Amino acid sequence: MKKFFKILFFTLLGVGVIWTFVYLYKKSRPQEVVYVIEEAKIDTIQKTTVVTGQIDPRDEVAMKPQVSGIISEILKEPGQSVKQGEVIAVVKVIPDVSNLSAAESQVRVAKMNLDNVEKTYQRQENLKAKGLISTEEFEKSQLEYQQAKESYSNAQDQLNIIKEGISKSTAGYSNTKIKATISGMILDIPVKVGNSVINSNTFNDGTTIATIANMQDMIFRGKLDETEVGKIHEGMPITLTIGAMNDRHFDAVLEYIAPKGTQESGAVFFEMKARAILPEDVFVRAGYSANAEIILDRAAGAVVVPESCISYEDGTSTGSGAFVYRCIKEDAPQEFERQAVKVGLSDGVNIVITEGLQAGDKIRGIEKTEEK
């Protein structure tokens, strides 16, 4: 029995030693590398850039009052369409006490002067009828009377303007009614009835009563990095993607590139504007965020391979002497030969081969990994 276990022990020990040598021998042998085989094909490559921005009306006009006062009435609401000349709100003038007192005083003085001149005129008129004064003296008195009446009327108008912001003679040109200066849609009315407003003057811009814009003429505004601004030009087609509208796509045309850039976070950006081409049945609200996709370069009907198949003489993607490994034998063991090529446009995934390969040629791709 002891002899049996002794034989079994040495047998197992021998098998273990042999297995160890076999395992180490296999591990020491170089493993055969297997590559993915890629095929050159005809395709279209385009290099694009995406600019983030928003959709805005081309022109937004702010309605400001010509007189200071208090909003007494608002006749429109945001979202309503208005035509040029329609009244949006009415301002009630709050007169300055000192100006009001001075205007009332001028009216009283003008009235007294008119009464005095009128009495003189009536006397002169009676004397003229009796032939006691010359025509020249009578016409002089008549002129003074007309001037006194005009002064009194002007003083009354000035008083009405201070009180109500309008005079009887200029009722058709009332500046207490805030009217639309353009036709379009009201985007915002930031004031309410009872709010005080200031007229536009030398010292401030004035209170905005309403903002109006033509919503049929929309543009995309964005900022483009300086590394790409030299590759675009006015008139280029653009594809707009508006996230708020279920990622719908719209065409646009690049209209403007700022001649001067602005520095932000260490980078220089240039403002760009593009005219949005919107269908008539689509309503785009002002301020929608959007992305503009611009095609910087395009190669159609070119021989294309994955960029990972390309190698360079100095080992970098910017080096010279690009080459690939053409497949001679696809089955194991695989065989390849080096083939110099000239490359063109790349989109980051695929690259155009301008010389050295034809459609259908098979080349070495990335190394296959063992699936666990």
**Do 254 and 282 belong together in one domain?**
yes
What is the Cα–Cα distance from 193 to 238, expressed in whole angstroms? 44
pLDDT over 60 at 315, yes or no: no
**Do 233 and 319 belong together in one domain?**
no
pLDDT over 80 at 314, yes or no: no
pLDDT over 80 at 317, yes or no: no
**Do 225 and 190 belong together in one domain?**
no
Give the model confidence (pLDDT) of 346-357 as tens digits: 888 899 998 888
The answer to whether residue 230 sits within a structural domain is yes
Helix residue spans in the chain (DSSP H)? 2-28, 97-130, 135-164, 226-229
- The region that residue 161 occupies, defined by phi over 0 for left and psi between -120 and 50 for alpha, beta otherwise, is alpha
Domain end, chosen from 251, 268, 297, is at 297
Classify 293 as helix, strand or coil: strand
Please report the pLDDT score of residue 88 as a whole number. Answer: 93
Non-local (6+) Cβ contacts of 214 within 8 A are: 57, 58, 59, 182, 183, 184, 185
Give the model confidence (pLDDT) of 50-71 as tens digits: 999 999 999 899 999 888 888 9
**Do 10 and 90 belong together in one domain?**
no
Give the model confidence (pLDDT) of 72-115 as tens digits: 899 999 999 999 989 999 888 776 656 667 777 777 887 788 78
Residue found under tokens 């483009």: 224
The answer to whether residue 372 sits within a structural domain is no
Least confident of 193-207, 238-252, 291-305: 193-207
Cα angle vertex 262, ends 257, 265, to 5°? 130
Give the model confidence (pLDDT) of 148-169 as tens digits: 888 877 777 777 766 665 656 5
**Do 158 and 74 belong together in one domain?**
yes
What is the Cα–Cα distance from 196 to 206, expressed in whole angstroms? 11
pLDDT over 50 at 371, yes or no: no
Domain end, chosen from 297, 315, 348, is at 297
Amino acid occupying residue 365 = G
Non-local (6+) Cβ contacts of 60 within 8 A are: 187, 211, 212, 213, 286
Section 118-123 average pLDDT: 80
The answer to whether residue 162 sits within a structural domain is yes
What is the CB neighbour count within 10 angstroms for residue 197? 20
Q: What is the CATH number of the domain that holds 190?
A: 2.40.50.100
Please report the pLDDT score of residue 251 as a whole number. Answer: 93
Q: How many domains are contained in the chain?
A: 4
**Do 39 and 163 belong together in one domain?**
no
Domain end, chosen from 297, 322, 352, is at 297
**Do 69 and 152 belong together in one domain?**
yes
* Enclosing domain of residue 358: 35-45+300-367
**Do 233 and 165 belong together in one domain?**
no
Q: What is the CATH number of the domain that holds 282?
A: 2.40.30.170
Joined together, the tokens standing for residue 231 give 């590759």
The answer to whether residue 145 sits within a structural domain is yes
The answer to whether residue 104 sits within a structural domain is yes
The reported pTM is 0.63
